[in-house]
Structure 1
Amino acid sequence: MVTTGQLPPASRTDLPPVRPAADEITTSALAELAPEPGWRRPVLLDAELLILVTGGHGVAELDFRALPCRPGTLLRVRSGQALRCLGPHLDATVVRWAAGTLRGLDVDPDAVPAYRQLAGEDEDAVISEVTQLAVDADRHAGVPAAAPLLRHQLAVLLLRLSLLPASEESTPRAETETFRRLCREVERGYQHTRRVEDYAARLGCSVRTLTRACLAVTGRSAKQVIDERVALQASRLLAATDEPIARIGRRLGFPEPTNFGRFFTREVGVSPGAFRAGRERPVPVRVVRPRPPADSPAGPGRA
């Protein structure tokens, strides 16, 4: 029987530093995610992840939100997010898969909370399933016939996590669904437009409907939600890459660097240059508060 906190450590050779194939599921130790020892700065992830902390205490900075970690902490990390993990002897098992891995299965990975502290029977069940998945992924690495087994194990794990009792206040279902639809559309279009009217037209609803849904779920207007998503992407690129600031601005729809600078300073509170200069400093740890469902595109540092 597997007991709480006794997940076997993964080999450092389990996870090659490349993006997994479309149907590949791999497991690794947390250290495999760091581009260099000590997590000097955040790294942009190129795959979907579940991270289960198995030992030590520390902080995970997920999109510039500081999340306290201890055994039983679960993180759901999306491809494209910025991650840095800090803390003495912080150990975790990482389950990693590509976006197309679960295609055709009736499971929504985005229904899994981005941050959860497991306990009791829930923790035991998740540890047991992660343990078995890690063992099978290692034992059957590179075996095509094992792919369906691993896919279904991962699907069961994600379904279990999505069914955990909600830890935040409920929001009317219609408004929650409208908000989620907006988030999906913003993910596709934030580099091209920040106008609420454009997203309302794409979704076939009114600006008022979008704003009402965003206020109900996040307490912020639709325009704020869109702008925060743009600021979040800018923060990711400033912190995790050395791409020139002006080029980052152009990628996000700001042909003029001064306009990008004003926008970023308004949203984040510091200039792009100052933000990049401080990227090696840890994010202050704050009390973890409930977040909007579906991992909405909240702005950096707004815990």
Structure 2
Amino acid sequence: MRDRDFRDGDGDGDQIRTFPFPVDLSLSGVGMRVGPIDARRTWHADAPLERVHRIDFHVVMLLGGGPVTHMIDFTEYEADAGDLLWIRPGQVHRFSRTTGYRGTVLAMQPGFLPRATVEATGLYRYDLPPLLRPDAAQLAGLRDSLGQLEREYADTTTLPLGAHTAVLRHSLTAFLLRLAHLAAGSAEAARRPDDSTFTRFRDAVELDFATNHSVSAYADALGYSRRTLVRAVRAATGETPKGFIDKRVVLEAKRLLAHTDLPIGRVGAAVGFPDSANFSKFFQLHTGTTPVAFRAEMR
């Protein structure tokens, strides 16, 4: 990626920049971009890629080189040639200090695809793994599909804009359906079956984790017994409902600590801990470090 590929947002005073999708820099102003990654990539002079940052659009990188270590939502993923990294809107991430990033990068603005396609391709399935390792046949299909998308993207002269955009949406959908099939069939995703009990719980936690940490309260609201909820969550994730809730709370706390200048007490309050001492104990229990130390490490 080159310096002009993406622009940083105003950040609202955040230490870590949020990068919006730059429609004005996309060919013909469409809501997606696709092109090569190279060692000259930069974001912006005062916000290097090696620092933690947040994006508000979708990014898929199909690597042609490596190895690289890429941090997504505070987990480091080791990726090499033939692997894919899928970063969704709102996730924080950081590039490693290496020139090993090679391949093709796709960026897509939320809203570019219709709702039915979004649902069919799992664009907002944050529970699916961001690192994907296709087999040889899957990789060949993904490369062909992404290559076709790149050719259509670059061809801005043979079709009027409306038809060009429609073709891009169809080509993009074909690639994302292949990607979604890979994600759903991956070893990690296989531990998360499409179980209505678990998916309802997961969606409820996503809505209410900042104010509700009670397993019993979720069970009552969803109309399940506590035992039914425990069985469903353990079958889908291998952990307890309480562990699932706590993990989501910790992730949000990490995002706020890395991404904002909010005082520790306000970070705690934002994830359901009015008492800052209790928040610090909770955070240290689950991460092995204090909120202050974690923030210092991310800066």
Which TM-score tier does this pair reach, normalised by the shorter chain? 0.7 to 0.9
Q: Does 1:133 align with 2:149?
A: yes
1:185 counterpart residue number: 204
Alignment of 1:43-58 (within 5 A): 43-58=53-68
- CA distance in 1 between counterparts of 2:272 and 2:289 reads 19
> After the TM superposition, which residues 50-199 of structure 1 pair with which residues of structure 2 at under 5 Å, given as runs?
50-89=60-99, 90-106=101-117, 107-110=120-123, 113-140=129-156, 143-164=161-182, 166-168=185-187, 170=190, 173=193, 176-199=195-218
Alignment pair present for 1:26 and 2:45: no
Decide whether the 8 Å contact of 2:42 with 2:48 is kept in 1: no
- Cα offset for 1:227? 1.0
The percent of aligned pairs where both chains have the same amino acid is: 31
Structure with greater contact order relative to length (CA < 8 Å, sep ≥ 6):
1
Match of 2:12 in 1: none
In structure 1, the residue corresponding to 2:61 is in which secondary structure?
strand
SS in 2 for 1:118: coil
User: How far apart are the structure 2 equivalents of 1:53 and 1:126?
Assistant: 12
User: What amino acid is the match of 2:287?
Assistant: V
Deviations 1:111-170 (CA, angstroms, capped at 9, x unpaired): 664211234222122122222223333444994442222222221112112223834285
The answer on whether the counterparts of 2:64 and 2:81 sit within 8 Å (CA) in structure 1 is: yes
1 CA distance for matches of 2:147 and 2:87?
A: 19
Work out whether residues 12 and 29 of structure 1, in 8 Å CA contact, stay in contact via their aligned partners in 2. Answer: no
Write the mapping of 1:261-300 to structure 2, written as runs, cut at 5 A: 261-279=280-298
TM-score by length of 1: 0.77
Residues of 2 paired with 1:33 and 1:126: CA distance? 26
Query: Paired residue for 2:262?
Result: 243
Give the 4+ runs in structure 1 shifted more than 4 A: 14-17, 32-38, 110-113, 169-174
The offset of 1:232, in angstroms, is 0.6
1:269 and 1:60 map into 2 onto residues whose CA distance is: 21
Q: Secondary structure at 1:163's aligned position in 2?
A: helix
Contact 2:65 2:102 in 1 (8 A): yes
Tell me the alpha carbon deviations over residues 24-68 of structure 1, each in whole angstroms, 9 at most, x when there is no partner: 222355535678565343112211221212223210111122111
TM-score by length of 2: 0.78
Deviation at 1:221, TM superposition (A): 0.7
User: Structure 2: 5+ residue runs without aligned partners?
Assistant: 9-19, 24-29
- Which has the higher mean CA deviation after the structures are superposed, 83-92 or 216-225? 83-92
Q: CA deviation at 1:261?
A: 0.9
Query: Whose helix fraction is larger, Structure 1's or Structure 2's?
Result: 2
Q: CA RMSD in A?
A: 3.0
**Aligned equivalent of 2:252:** 233
